[in-house]
Amino acid sequence: MSRQRVVIAGLGDVGVLTAIRLARHFDVVGISVKPALVSGQELGVRIARPHDWARDYWIPFDRFRRLDAVRTIQATLTGVDLAARCIFGRRVDGTTITEHYDALVISTGVSNGFWRQPTLQSAQDIGADLYTAHQRLRAAESVAVVGGGGAAVSSAVNVATTWPHKRIDLYFPGERPLIAYHSRVWERIGGRLAELGVGLHPGHRAEVSDGFTGDEITGGPVHWSTGQPESAAAAVLWAIGRVRPNTHWLPQQLLDERGFVCVTPELCVPGQRGLFAVGDVAATDPLRSSARNRGDALVANNIRAQFAGRRLHTYRAPDRRWGSLLGIQTDGLEVFLPTGHAFRLPPWSVHRVVMPWIVRWGMYHGIRENDPLR
């Protein structure tokens, strides 16, 4: 008797973890535009220290031991037939795919800046993109970071730490950045930015067109809709939070007014048995926090429960964002709690315990050693 088939649409951070959790129980197929996990996390480390970032956040699928049983397909999704329970896509060479499913998990994420794009890429393409952004910032005498979220703040800290002699400025629209975090987080990181000599400019909202998404590092002046004089920098990094859900291939009936996938508290798509959504693409709460709070575990458990006729569990979103914000630094890894308090893991524990044992074995159940940049 053949096993039930689960198709994971999107193998980013949460999609990979979901596939790993389901691989022992079902016939799992994962569809991704990349040949690897290319994480959307830690933008600051990515642009400032790309080799360090690649070591932890760019991982070919064949390195994951638990994905050995998962059939991965590199393709762009083009549609879904809900009645026939089929999903469609197109490979790099233009040939089409059709995959039948008993359950479908939508985890296609969002597009955001140059670092999160749903484009078909080879390993060579990924590496070229990684170093293009790094070299652009490395060559610039001055850098303006525009945005008030975690990506903008992390970028400002990491760029200033890597190139302490550059002029770095952070422009954000409110009185303080990181409004999704407890105020204590900004108090701590704002002090660090000041120590690094980063210029802090509250109340600056960039003047951009409706279609502008900040998908590349630009040059030239930045104009402000809030009335300040224009600001000049050799390189402008846009982290303005204009995320677009990667849901162009889905019927409108499944989406909310912003294009995110509607879900119940159980991460099910309403009225569609066997259809689930998780991660940044799922309209769970204003922060779409199932991407960062074990949403993969919940959706995997609920798929097993639905097939077995058991009660499904509900997702409870946190009130604030928490966790690592700046990535691994030379002095270790700082982790923020929902209360805004922080604790620091020393470098030896990060490299000898956290990454090899807690992340690579605990979360991913084993990753074979390799280096995508070699």
Check residue 293 and give its pLDDT. 84
- Per-residue pLDDT of 271-307, as tens digits, reads 999 999 999 999 999 888 898 888 999 999 999 999 9
**What parts of the chain have a pLDDT lower than 50?**
374
Q: What is the pLDDT of residue 291?
A: 85
Integer Cα distance of 227 and 208 in angstroms: 14
| Per-residue pLDDT tens digits for 47-61 | 999 999 999 999 999
For residue 152, give the nearest of 129, 172, 131 by alpha carbon. 172
pLDDT value of position 1: 53
Find all residues with CB under 8 Å of 29, minimum gap 6, and list them: 5, 6, 7, 8, 70, 71, 72, 73, 99, 101
pLDDT score of 374: 44
Stretch (H or E) spanning 46: helix 43-48
Per-residue model confidence (pLDDT) at position 245: 97
Give the chain's domains with CATH numbers.
5-121+244-321+347-358 (3.50.50.60), 123-238 (3.50.50.60)
pTM of the model: 0.94
Query: Whose structure tokens read 């660090």?
Result: 192
Rg (CA), the chain: 21
